[in-house]
Amino acid sequence: MRFSELDQKMRTYEELNDQYVLPGVFIVVRLDGRNFTRLTKEELKFKTPYDEIFRNHMIEVVKHLMDSGFRVIYGYTQSDEISLLFHPQDDTFQRKVRKINSVLAGEASGKFSLLINRVATFDSRVCQLPTLEIVIDYFRWRNEDAHRNALNSHCYWMLRKKGESVKKATSILTGMSVAEKNELLFQNGVNFNDLPKWQKRGIGIYWDKQLKKGYNPKLKRDEVSEKKILVVDIDLPMKEKYSQFIEKLVKDSINAS
């Protein structure tokens, strides 16, 4: 069998189950750290429930992914997860799901591993969202999940630091309402409303333009040019204002293309 025939035969098996995201469908990729509880709490011993060094590492991973060859217009991170919103016209790898997942998981894993000087792994999944409304709902979901996680984490680790076991702390929080958890923190000297917003809302990263002054040696004159930069927002809005923020970001990106 000639190589060309063998190559065509074997690629059939490799590509048989390939899926593609249809044109016009929004792509959001969500990445999660694998076994990050053990990695961050037991091996690296980051502060609980939140650690600024870990937060900064996650920001650097998002920035890396947003500049890794895909047209990502918005990155969002909370805890050990990342969500990336692609420009609707992005056609990298012909929108092949397998390639998007494998490349982004590899890039995230490699970048975080370099930052902590040991092996770390992310998984990746492509979410295919048909409308802008559902894109907004997706990011509202992750934003509000960050708020829920922050309340639970602060309650849990407050109890653990008071000497409760994993089982006892979990048991105490089971069935408690949001108001009761807020009161539990308040009675122990923590006002949840005063905690840093990035812990309760997550962190958004998006592109903006910055004016840059320079000298043109050919024309022998000073010039001002525009440069794209990544903005890290640790003060995201919530609820309806966050929906409006996402809607404007997407529409502005489409209009600018």
Among 67-81, 111-125, 218-232, the least confident range: 218-232
**What percentage of residues in the chain have a pLDDT greater than 70?**
96
* Per-residue pLDDT, 78: 97
Dihedral sign of CA atoms 41, 46, 50, 54 in order: negative
Separation between Cα atoms, residue 213 and residue 216, nearest integer Å: 10
Residue 158 has pLDDT above 70, yes or no: yes
What element of type H or E holds 100? helix 97-116
Give the whole-angstrom CA distance, residue 254 versus residue 87: 7
Q: What average pLDDT does this structure show over 87-112?
A: 97
Question: For residue 205, what is the enclosing H or E element?
Answer: strand 203-216
Indicate the pLDDT class of residue 215, thresholds 50, 70 and 90: low
| Phi (first) and psi of residue 135, to 5 degrees | -60, -45
How far is the C-alpha of 181 from the C-alpha of 158, rounded, in Å? 11
Q: For residue range 70-99, list pLDDT tens digits in order.
A: 999 999 999 999 999 999 999 999 999 999
CB count in 10 Å sphere of residue 190? 15
**What is the arithmetic mean of pLDDT over 109-120?**
97
Lowest-confidence pick of 40-44, 76-80, 130-134, 244-248 = 40-44
CA 213, distance to chain mean position in Å, is 32
Q: Is the pLDDT of residue 21 over 90?
A: yes
pLDDT at 216: 73
User: What is the band of 149 on the pLDDT scale with cuts at 50, 70, 90?
Assistant: very high
pLDDT reading at 214 higher than 80: no
The share of the chain scoring above pLDDT 90, in percent, equals: 82
What is the maximal distance between C-alpha atoms in the chain?
A: 77
Q: Which CATH fold would you assign to the domain 17-140+198-256?
A: Alpha-Beta Plaits (3.30.70)
Q: Which residues of 46-78 are buried (b: 16+ CB within 10 A; e: fewer)?
A: beebbeeebbebbbebbebbbebebbbbbbbbb
For 149-162, what is the mean pLDDT?
Answer: 96
Q: Is the dihedral of CA 171, 165, 167, 31 positive or negative?
A: positive
Numbers of helices and strands, H then E, in the chain: 9, 6
Q: What is the mean pLDDT of residues 40-46?
A: 92
pLDDT band per the 50, 70, 90 thresholds, residue 224: low
